[in-house]
Structure 1
Amino acid sequence: MNRITALAATVALAAGSLALTAPTQAAPARAYKVTAKANLEVAVAKEDTVKVRGRVTPKAAGQKVVLQQRVGNKKTWKATGKATIKRNGTYVLKDKPTTPGSREYRVLKPGKGAVKKGYSKALEVQVYGWEKLINRVSGPSVNLEPAYVYIGAEAYPSSLATTTSGTPSSIEYTLGRKCTDLRATYALTDSSATGSSGAATVTADGEVLAVHSLAVGTIVADEVLDVTDVFRLKLDLSTTATPAAVAAVATPEVLCTR
């Protein structure tokens, strides 16, 4: 064996030795990939159902995914529902919010065997809820107080009614740009005298949203006004002194988030 042949054999032997002693690297562990999409970005508490749909890969038919959510500024996630993954890898999760406020949803697929757990991206949903206007702290109020009134022989609790006929009446509420709708009925109450009359005006940040002329038997029922981005709401009522009238904003509610 000449010197060149011997050197080549030595190099080959050394390379083989290194190959035998090199540590083997384990393949990276897989994790479930979870996609998710919500049917709503804005929901109404106790009315709307948020549906979260998505897909899990690798497929895990018959296994469970978990719906998690966190409300407002909370840091922890809370499990609020489960669903079974279908044969094609898809799932549907549902939640019906009961309280207003911003919240996030995400979907967890727990680990199984050699596949680690996976999470979907977080989905933000803004939830609004109807609340009685008289339960909010009011601003200036003149000749107008919370009352239980009758209009057209029907009872309207949680209402606002004038106290002295013939005297201008008003009340203000701060919505703080956190509400989107005002819902109320405007009328003279059944205690008003025949032939009496009145008027109701709704103003938002100085802009008139609605004006209603009122008489016995005239009812503006369940009117919904847009108060999106309104900071201060004002209600003005007027009535005749003779014949005496009582005007009411019956069961007013606002649709607000926290």
Structure 2
Amino acid sequence: MKMLIIGSSDTRGATLPDPSQAWPNLVAAELTRVLGEPVDFVDLPLVPVGPRAVPRVESALDREHPDIVVCSAGAYQFIVGTVGLRVRRRYGERAYRWFRKLETGFERKTASPSGGPARTNHAARWLARRVIGAEAPSTKEEVTRVQTEMFHKLSQREGLIVVLLTTPPIGESLEKENKGANRLLTEHQERMGAVARSHHFLIADCRPGFAAAAKVALRHSDGVHKGATGHRIQADAILSALLGSPSPLAPGEPAPPASAPGRTGA
């Protein structure tokens, strides 16, 4: 069995000391144990912007022939502005590469193991935003259009199990830098959740898990990328959607044959 993961750098566990703690690895390992057959996954990082985004998904579907697709449909492209993007648009690609090199090194040295930014980290981010400014890479309309079209294309694939992962709010410090970001994220999630349910996709909502968890390393100090505990919560939400009842993969229920109409009902 194969999963296609449509996600981001966070999906890959880019900031984890041990990438095997990323939720795709955890989900694949648990499904292998429960189902008694190997479950592999292919990671497709996707920025939901521009005319090439949906064709990339379609190409991956044709190439990989997955049984399960998990979509992490966030809204970071329009709710979070970055200094790096402002540098790229104002000063060019060379300046952007130089800035990113400095930013990555500084982030590594000042990140807090608790998951929140250290005081030096926070002060530097605040200063950079005040001096240089920040921009979001896209708009709400563009992200919604691309994700809606992607959901429609996925719904046309027969026998495909589709799971929408509802991403948790961004960290408190990052929301302070991006006023109203979590409100916009919630609105976007409600909109995309309605589209997903109209296609009978499974919904994996990890937000209650994040809200109930102790304030340990749920997120990296950048406020977006998740720590090991955050990845575990996301994995549990996806497994609950896939293995709970009713579900195509619930223990004791056979998986749908490849020729069956898409069964993705929540």
TM-score exceeds 0.5: no
Give the structure, 1 or 2, with the largest relative contact order (CA under 8 Å, sep 6 or more): 2
Q: TM-score range by the shorter chain?
A: under 0.3
More strand by share: 1
TM value normalised by structure 1: 0.22
More helix by share: 2
Question: Is the radius of gyration larger for structure 1 or structure 2?
Answer: 1
